[in-house]
């Protein structure tokens, strides 16, 4: 098993119970998540030693976040304390025709986005791990966040560690004209990366690559090999998600490696909590890739991990490797007793 | 935007959590609703100034009801205090094959149904509003309720305000032989009304009008124009609801106006809380009718409002006009972030 | 051990959680109680075979009430079903300076107070029991309730069973001039009774007996023996309660029997739930009296039972005889493990 | 109506709320169930007088279990107290692809499985009832449990009561090689039984009977008549269950009697709580069989009872006979008001 | 009765249930408060027409805040929508030796502190009210908040309305050297004010006035008349609070008016929720002052209002005038039924 | 700071909410504790690196326990997985006169008490730590538990680590004649120990040492020096606890070292959750002793830690060193904001 650090902000998720709106309810359940947290947690359950590289305020909220990270089995040696705030988002679960609603507090003022760390920190982290995971959401924050992200990626690369980058482009964070603003930062990360999560949209819109493909699959087959070649990326993976009318989603995952695409059989499943399931797919791919598993197994395993993540409350995948392996063979669950 | 009063009883809804029966559970969630409350709340969210005309006891339960009316944005200047009791109903949510169960306490002893108000009250309310909403459920109560309802409707009419009447015939309230007992009261209200909610059943059974129509749609097309003509009603609207086996309902709404029927495309949607959704449809029609919207837009808007109301806990519609407009274009909701 | 029926209404208690008001909260815990329920439950836990003689509606609320009676170990063979409503009261717990608040729904319309039972019912109940318990609250209801109460008491007496009567005068139920209205009914019950719960106030105000006693204790010592003599009552018991400023109450109980008063040492204890604790005292006395225990032990046991009842949530005493015996020797509780 | 005792262990069910895992949650709902409890509760609601024959520890947990048995309307006169522990299982509800998970505590150390009862107990129980119900789960426990089970069955048989036996083979309880170990005990019970619940798997695997049937239905038609003949069993019934992908189950029940099979129309329904629904089917058959209902009505009634049991939280069926009769004619439930 | 606007920020209070810390719990109750909200709510319950002058974001959190303001009976016509965030604080309730802990999010980025309003707004508000309430907490925010506060106070003064100012100096908001920074702003507000809440500490520390008084009472008697004279203030009021070891607080209130001090008898009471009780005292004084009540009655009424506010969950006083009047005569509460 | 392992069983605590009994409630909160867990958690919060040496079943309950250990900051590298069960206890919180009630499941069948570990495990643990903590509760289990405990203590001692032993004699675990059975095991542990927690009762009853002391303090002063000398123990500490009538406890701690007793000023405080507070005292002493703090500071610090532990829900102390230091100077807590 490997040792992996995930770099990213810890977000406090505050959600109304059931399907109540904030105006109806008077209580909230809270937990702590974020792409880095999700990936580190999932990989920890797959047997890896994981760390989060992040910054939390030195108050009760930071203490609570740290406690949950430990509970998830994530190493906290590289979480620094300082600054004053933690990023938060409020989640109102939709039902049927009514969409879920996310309302953010000010992320840019969070400890993660405002407190500079010593350059030595990045070296120490890079020393301790075989691979590090980064996410495009951090690129959308501010110069400090971007700069720290690149420092750590560079340090890892320099020491021979693997750099994993999930494009994860969020339009609302970049605003209008965001693709142009984002492009140079994305290119820098792609140059450093060994394993990348993206699909044809990232290539078309952020990297501005043209494609004559007739549909998204054709565009994917056209563009992903170009990206791999241009930036010297060892493996690229991603998914196409389709939201169906009957509370199910369909997920079709792929992995491109050594010039070949492998596709998972599209999987359709009931959805209990959608947030964070993309991170489960990524974690499945990372796990299989770090172990050198067969690429077809990798996409199937990652797809099952993603499907399971939709059945668990909270952003953070909780399935063990054994759980995922069992789910690979199952179509519906009864009772295990 | 207009100023509208809804006349009707405030009911306390007490429901067991989840799908528990009263014998299983030990706790209840409570809220305050009623057709008038629901319509006033919905119209308030569509931007109108709304009032409830009702009576509540001067005790803790009445205080709690009043606080919730205010929370919903409903004006309480025309809610009088007096009497001793508030009407209540207990709701046990069914699941699949098991139906939901409603158990009432004694409504006839409620403040609304026992406390006479000064005649001047009705004039003051009529002075303050452009339109008033009435509901057939009140007709099923007792002589006091019926008499007060007609006084207010007459006062509104006299001052040039619009009278809106929802037939809402509840067989369990009228008992056996109820249609005959109800007919004269319904006819009085139809004479006063400018906008009426009903369908072919009300014409056939309550008004005793014959129809040779082969099915309910043919009967609707046959009878509604006759009703409009007989009573001089400007517009008539209603829905056909179908309960499907897979926890979805299908709603087909219509609006008859100036000699023409408009039908909404039948809408099928998952149901979270069925109670009060008919009031959402009515509110959508009232909103569009008061603004003079295109009739086809009116039925589509009202259908979307009703569909959304099925996705929200509680009797009372909470969607804003913007929410409904967005739902007009959607078939399933993911996350908005 | 004996077989005892308690005659009385089952009330649904609906209470806001913690110290919230009805305007603040949105949920209620509910349970079913009443003096008869409380006494039958307490005696059942002391080892007696108990029954409730009452009437419940044949709906979900009645089913839930019946299920709780069974849970409490109360025989339901003499509970008839019929009528439409169950009496209810809403309880908002006070804190410190802020008093608890009780709001009733219409009790007079309840099944218990509106559904006549066959005369044969009373004979069947009287056949089955050694003693029956009655309460002054029922006397305050209506003619039907009073008449049924007296029929049962008479039938029990005729068969040689013991009649127990708790005066339990509630001013709010009788209204102004209530003592005069109540007196003849109270006298009828006292004539039938073998064991009575009352204190000097009942004698002074309801029975209109004068006393020259300087304080309540002197009045008690003066009047209770007169009452016993006048009505031929075997034993009379009662308490003086004092509400202290620091969330404790002080209870001083007495038992008058065979010309002699016995007083319990006044007991001061923290109060968690005050409702129904008087019924626990009565149950302790009844238990000891039916067994022929020493009168001093009876008042001490009853006082400990009452003190324990203040430490348990809900109206209904839950302590077993063993629990009470242990509490007789204790001043504060730590952990039993 | 009849008088029936069910012999079996009371289990404490502890379940996390919603779909949370034990690692995510911090709270549990608990209730008390078991095959005997479920069957006795269901039959009590169908109007029979029922008893549980079992043993509970004399502590707070035993008190709580006993209170719930009473609440369910089950007679507790034959529940003895003793031993130290109650069997427990923890239930984590699955969602979609993720199966539900049951984790047991040590059942073999429970009061039921460790405390011997007087031989006279079995005679007293047999005297009091028309029929007794037994379950294969008890056979899987230990020699004491098996011996007591057979003593009671023999006593009932001797007095002319009916013996009902549900094969209910649980592989995890018998372990590897379990069928061979179980066979002699099953044969003993089948010799005593008048009504048996089983399907072709029990005949094939436990009783080791060969069949040339091409599918499970053919095997059922081949083997069940042989079993009935071999052991002299009056009636045999059972179900085939199919877990579908969309959170519905399909149940196909049969009843073999007097040389003829009757099959219920396969019923497909949404599942809210799956545990204990098999006991509802059995209870429906027992009810109809004890009353001498038409066999086709029996399987239809039992199937509807089982379907309803899937819509109620908890292991224990709560539907009254009237509820089941109404469900026989229904395909989906709306609101009853 | 009067019409009063309170100017101030709406804060979202998020608190862990019971006495749990943020690390222990996973859920939060939330409500919306703030000095302005508290004062407006209390005065609304005393019969006045009240408004909040504030700014809320146009998102789900702002909607929920607005709904609660309406529920409290506060007019929302002067609440503008805009900006992105709402101020929040997390509250962990202490127990005994362990203090309560408040953790803030970034208030300075809130809608209230970042969105400028049209100058015309202040004029419109001033036109509509007889008095306006301001609080020193707003002075501690930023230039925008201070400037808007002074604009509104000036506009109210200019139109002959009353200006009420609560000094409410919070050391943590001003930081080190805060008194000096605060002084000019406080002086500006005192110049405008007709009724001021403060005690000797404000005079000594913020206004830098020397006193030879031997203790806080002597200092109060020395300094308050000087402040009144210097700034031309009609009335000054305040309290001394003492936190006792046994979960009680003692409050001693005063009112200085027309050259005379009136003191309330120090009141000691159990504390359920301490936050916001100072605002209840202020509201009591304002109510009595606006009505022209006797000053001694004013301090007694205000003290009882404050004592009651400690017995209610949440920051916001909920007692009606009748509740306070009853509490004036009470020392401990039993049940009102 | 030091590295410390605590050896002991992880218990699952299941408690009814509020003050409900198991018969009243239907839900339980659960957590995982035990003396070892409590001490390791407290020391982790004081800045030490801590480990638990224990065994947990490899199922969902074991996973949940492990997750909570991690959350508490306890190293889990020395927790082995195996066996089938986790020890449990049910807690019903008493109120006032009604004591709390603890009901255990079968601890002897737990993984900790049934699964042997490799001898190498003890060496590895001993290698990793500066000190190890043991508790008399484990001595009361069975031969396997005792043997493993002594193996680890011996290994730690051999490597020069410190052995800490808390006598913690539980009469209910040892049964009648327990002191005699326990004595040899206690003596073995005392021989190995450097720091011991006990008081005069342990010396008198378990070790059978006579004392002529007139009261417990005199006996303590007489016996503790003898124990220290006899067994060559560097330091001995303990407390006297007194349960007061008003929900407060009084704790008087001592530390005997280098021939001198130091006593903390007796501390009286309100109690929210009593379980585990003794472990907080021990942890305070261990912390100060490992750091070489002044003995008087040690007893004061430990007493404050114990007092704080009574104010937090759950068995496990959560106070940081800073929290304890602040509490040293405080007598009652208000709000920190």
pLDDT, tens digit (0-9, with 9 covering 90-100), for F229-267: 999 999 999 999 888 766 788 899 999 999 999 999 888
| pTM of the predicted structure, to 2 decimals | 0.93
What integer best gives the mean pLDDT of chain F?
93
pLDDT, tens digit (0-9, with 9 covering 90-100), for C101-113: 999 988 889 999 9
CA distance F86 to F91: 16
B96 alpha carbon, distance to own chain's centre = 26
What are the residue boundaries of the structural domains of chain B, listed by start?
A: 1-116, 234-328
pLDDT, tens digit (0-9, with 9 covering 90-100), for D33-55: 999 999 999 999 999 999 999 99
Asked if pLDDT for residue E178 goes beyond 70, the answer is yes
Which has more confidence, B215 or D330? B215
Asked if pLDDT for residue D128 goes beyond 80, the answer is yes
pLDDT, tens digit (0-9, with 9 covering 90-100), for A85-108: 999 999 999 888 888 999 998 888
The model's confidence at residue C140, banded by pLDDT at 50, 70 and 90, is very high
For F94, F201, F260, F309, the CA distances from F240, given in Å and listed in that order, are 22, 10, 18, 16
* pLDDT at residue B284 in the model: 97
| Residue ranges of chain D whose CB lies within 8 Å of a chain C CB | 67-68, 70-73
Q: What share of chain D is helix, strand, coil (3-state, %, to 5)?
A: 40, 25, 35
Find the radius of gyration of the CA atoms of chain E.
Answer: 19
* pLDDT at residue A5 in the model: 98
Q: Are strands F131-135 and F162-166 parallel, antiparallel or unpaired?
A: parallel
Asked if pLDDT for residue D69 goes beyond 60, the answer is yes
CA distance B197 to B168: 8
Contact flag D332-B95 (C-beta cutoff 8 Å): no
What is the CATH number assigned to the segment(s) C1-132? 3.40.1190.20
Average pLDDT over residues C243-253: 82
The model's confidence at residue E248, banded by pLDDT at 50, 70 and 90, is confident
Classify residue B57 as exposed, middle or buried by CB count within 10 Å of its CB (0-12, 13-18, 19+): buried
Average pLDDT over residues F107-124: 94
Residues in A touching F67 (Cβ below 8 Å):
71-73
Chains near C with 3+ CB pairs less than 8 A apart are B, D, E, F
Q: Report the residue of chain F nearest A77, measured CA to CA.
A: F73
pLDDT, tens digit (0-9, with 9 covering 90-100), for B310-324: 888 888 888 999 999
Contact flag B70-E68 (C-beta cutoff 8 Å): no
The model's confidence at residue E274, banded by pLDDT at 50, 70 and 90, is confident
Asked if pLDDT for residue D336 goes beyond 70, the answer is no
Query: Do residues F100 and F92 touch, judged by C-beta distance below 8 A?
Result: yes
Chains near A with 3+ CB pairs less than 8 A apart are B, D, E, F
Residues in C touching E311 (Cβ below 8 Å):
19, 94-98
Asked if pLDDT for residue B277 goes beyond 90, the answer is no
* pLDDT at residue E96 in the model: 82
* pLDDT at residue C268 in the model: 86
The model's confidence at residue E219, banded by pLDDT at 50, 70 and 90, is very high
C240–chain F nearest CA distance, Å: 20
* pLDDT at residue E275 in the model: 78
Q: Are strands F235-243 and F248-257 parallel, antiparallel or unpaired?
A: antiparallel
What is the CATH number assigned to the segment(s) B1-116? 3.40.1190.20
CA distance B198 to B200: 7
3-state secondary structure (DSSP) of residue C287 = helix
- Of E131, E129, E140, E75, the closest CA to residue E285 belongs to E131
Average pLDDT over residues D310-331: 86
Contact flag E100-F334 (C-beta cutoff 8 Å): yes
Contact flag C70-D68 (C-beta cutoff 8 Å): no
HSE at residue E196, side-chain half, CA atoms within 13 A, is 29
Contact flag A60-E92 (C-beta cutoff 8 Å): yes
Assign 3-class secondary structure to chain F.
CCEEEEECCCEEEEECCCCCCCCCCCEEEEEEECHHHHHHHHHHHCCCEEEEEEEECCCHHHHHHHHHHHHCCCECCCEEECCCCCEEEEEECCECCECEEEEECCHHHCHHHHCCCCHHHHHHHHHHCCEEEEEHHHHCCCHHHHHHHHHHHHHHHHCCCEEEEECCCCHHHHCCCHHHHHHHHHHHHHHHCCEEECCHHHHHHHCCCCCCCCCHHHHHHHHHHHHHHHHCCCEEEEEEEEECCCCEEEEEEEEEECCEEEECCCEEEECCCCCCHHHHHHHHHHHHHHHCCCHHHHHHHHHHHHHHHCCCCCCCCCCCHHHHHHHHCCCCCCEEC
Asked if pLDDT for residue C333 goes beyond 70, the answer is no
C225 alpha carbon, distance to own chain's centre = 22
Which has more confidence, C251 or D233? D233
What integer best gives the mean pLDDT of chain A?
93
What integer best gives the mean pLDDT of chain D?
93
Q: Which of A171-185, C211-225, D171-185, F262-276 has the lowest mean pLDDT?
A: F262-276
Chains near D with 3+ CB pairs less than 8 A apart are A, B, C, F
* pLDDT at residue D333 in the model: 54
Q: Which of B133-142, F234-243, F312-321 has the lowest mean pLDDT?
A: F312-321
Looking at domain D1-160, its CATH superfamily turns out to be Ribokinase (3.40.1190.20)
pLDDT, tens digit (0-9, with 9 covering 90-100), for C11-41: 999 999 999 999 999 999 999 999 999 999 9
D129–chain C nearest CA distance, Å: 19
pLDDT, tens digit (0-9, with 9 covering 90-100), for F157-170: 999 999 999 999 99
CA distance B269 to B273: 12
pLDDT, tens digit (0-9, with 9 covering 90-100), for B146-164: 999 999 999 999 999 999 9
The model's confidence at residue B216, banded by pLDDT at 50, 70 and 90, is very high
* pLDDT at residue C248 in the model: 80
Question: How many CB atoms are closer than 10 A to CB C245?
Answer: 13
The model's confidence at residue C275, banded by pLDDT at 50, 70 and 90, is confident
Asked if pLDDT for residue A337 goes beyond 70, the answer is no
Asked if pLDDT for residue A231 goes beyond 60, the answer is yes
The model's confidence at residue F269, banded by pLDDT at 50, 70 and 90, is confident
* pLDDT at residue E1 in the model: 85
Dihedral (CA of C181, C89, C20, E272) sign: positive
CA distance D93 to D25: 12
- CATH of the domain spanning F3-328, picked from 3.80.30.20, 3.10.129.10, 2.60.40.1220, 3.40.1190.20: 3.40.1190.20
* pLDDT at residue D277 in the model: 81
* pLDDT at residue B245 in the model: 67
* pLDDT at residue A214 in the model: 93
- Across the interface, of F28, F63, F84, the residue whose CB is closest to D30 is F28
D258–chain F nearest CA distance, Å: 45
* CATH C-level class of E1-118: alpha beta
Cα first-last separation, chain D = 31
* pLDDT at residue A334 in the model: 55
Q: Which of C227-231, C268-272, E162-166 has the lowest mean pLDDT?
A: C268-272
- Sequence-distant (≥ 6) Cβ neighbours of residue F235 within 8 angstroms: F194, F195, F196, F228, F255, F256, F257, F285, F289
3-state secondary structure (DSSP) of residue C234 = coil
Contact flag E270-C95 (C-beta cutoff 8 Å): yes
Asked if pLDDT for residue D332 goes beyond 80, the answer is no
pLDDT, tens digit (0-9, with 9 covering 90-100), for B181-196: 999 999 999 999 999 9
Q: Report the residue of chain E nearest B67, measured CA to CA.
A: E71
Contact flag E243-F332 (C-beta cutoff 8 Å): yes
The model's confidence at residue E31, banded by pLDDT at 50, 70 and 90, is very high
* pLDDT at residue C317 in the model: 86
* pLDDT at residue A302 in the model: 96
* pLDDT at residue C316 in the model: 85
Average pLDDT over residues E39-59: 97
* pLDDT at residue A104 in the model: 93
Q: Are strands E235-243 and E248-257 parallel, antiparallel or unpaired?
A: antiparallel
A67–chain E nearest CA distance, Å: 7
Residues in C touching F21 (Cβ below 8 Å):
312, 318
Give the whole-number percent of chain E exceeding pLDDT 70: 97
Which has more confidence, B277 or B304? B304
């Amino acid at each position: 098993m490997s040792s992996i650090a995930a770099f990213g902000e810890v977000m406090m998720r505050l959600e109304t119970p059931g399907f109540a709106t904030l105006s109806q309810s008077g209580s909230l359940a809270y937990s702590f998540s974020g792409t880095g947290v999700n990936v580190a947690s999932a990989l920890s359950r797959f047997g890896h030693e994981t760390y989060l590289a992040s910054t939390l305020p030195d108050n009760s909220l930071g203490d609570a976040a740290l406690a949950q990270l430990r509970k998830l089995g994530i190493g906290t040696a590289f979480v620094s304390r300082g600054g004053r705030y933690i990023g938060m988002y409020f989640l109102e679960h939709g039902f049927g025709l009514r969409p879920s609603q996310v309302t953010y507090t000010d992320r840019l003022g969070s400890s993660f986005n405002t407190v500079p760390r010593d350059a030595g920190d990045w070296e120490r982290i890079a020393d301790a791990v075989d691979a590090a995971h980064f996410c495009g959401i951090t690129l959308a924050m501010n110069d400090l966040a971007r700069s720290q992200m690149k420092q750590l990626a560079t340090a890892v690369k320099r020491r021979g560690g693997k750099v994993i980058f999930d494009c994860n482009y969020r339009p609302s964070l970049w605003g209008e004209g965001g693709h142009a603003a984002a492009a140079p930062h994305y290119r820098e990360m792609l140059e450093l990366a060994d394993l990348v999560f993206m699909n044809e949209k990232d290539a078309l819109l952020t990297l501005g690559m043209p494609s004559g493909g007739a549909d998204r699959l054709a565009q994917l087959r056209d563009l992903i090999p170009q990206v791999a070649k241009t930036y010297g990326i060892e493996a690229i993976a991603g998914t196409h998600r389709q939201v169906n009318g009957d509370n199910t989603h369909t997920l079709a995952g792929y992995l491109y490696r050594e010039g070949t695409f492998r596709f998972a059989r599209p999987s359709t499943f009931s959805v209990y909590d959608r947030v964070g399931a993309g991170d489960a797919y990524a974690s499945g791919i990372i796990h299989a890739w770090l172990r050198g598993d067969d690429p077809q197994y990798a996409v199937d395993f990652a797809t099952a991990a993603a499907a399971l993540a939709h059945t668990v409350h909270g952003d953070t995948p909780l399935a063990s490797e054994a759980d995922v392996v069992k789910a690979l063979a199952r179509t519906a669950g009864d009772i295990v007793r």
